[in-house]
Amino acid sequence: MMAAPIDSPCRNLCSLDAERKGCTGCGRTLDEIVHWRSMTDAQRTAVMARVKEFEPIPS
């Protein structure tokens, strides 16, 4: 039995920061957002660990 895929950390508060390097809603980098669907579970787990405590930045 295969494990369920790791859900995206997206909070539907999508907005890029001033430098256009990351999302102010979930904390992922632009590269992580673009490649999320093709990432391995290990890569997704690493992203999730990094953004776990991220607080959205008000726009």
Nearest to 36 by CA among 56, 53, 26, 20: 26
Report angle CA 26, 14, 10 to the nearest 5 degrees: 40
CB atoms within 10 A of CB 38: 7
- pLDDT of 20 reads 85
For residue 3, what pLDDT band results from cuts at 50, 70 and 90?
A: confident
Q: List pLDDT tens digits, range 20-47.
A: 889 999 999 999 999 999 999 999 999 9
- Listed by start position, the domains of the chain span 16-53
Sign of CA dihedral 27, 28, 33, 37: negative
- Could you tell me the pLDDT band of residue 10, with boundaries at 50, 70 and 90? very high
pTM for this model (two decimals): 0.84
